[in-house]
Amino acid sequence: MSTNLPYIFNFGFYLSQFSVLFIFGLNIKVLLISIKVLIVLEYFCLMSSKTSPYQI
């Protein structure tokens, strides 16, 4: 039992590092997508405010 514990610990350590990198990559993707959505929304708000007197 005591000989298997370091292997389990190393596996958990690598798994946690991989999950942190995976979550970090997902956060970067979500951040880029949200920035694109904000730019598109801002563009539509500018176009609609130019054509109509009501500002969003």
For residue 32, tell me if it sits in a domain. Answer: yes
pTM of the model: 0.47
Report the alpha-carbon distance of residue 22 to residue 55 in Å, rounded.
40
Torsion sign (Cα): 7, 10, 14, 17: positive
- Read off the pLDDT of residues 4-51 as tens digits, 9 standing for 90 and up: 667 777 888 888 888 888 888 888 899 899 999 999 999 988 888 776
Q: Identify the residue whose tokens are 């993707």.
A: 29
For residue 2, tell me if it sits in a domain. Answer: no
How many structural domains does the chain have?
Answer: 1
Report the alpha-carbon distance of residue 29 to residue 22 in Å, rounded.
11
Domain that holds residue 34: 22-51
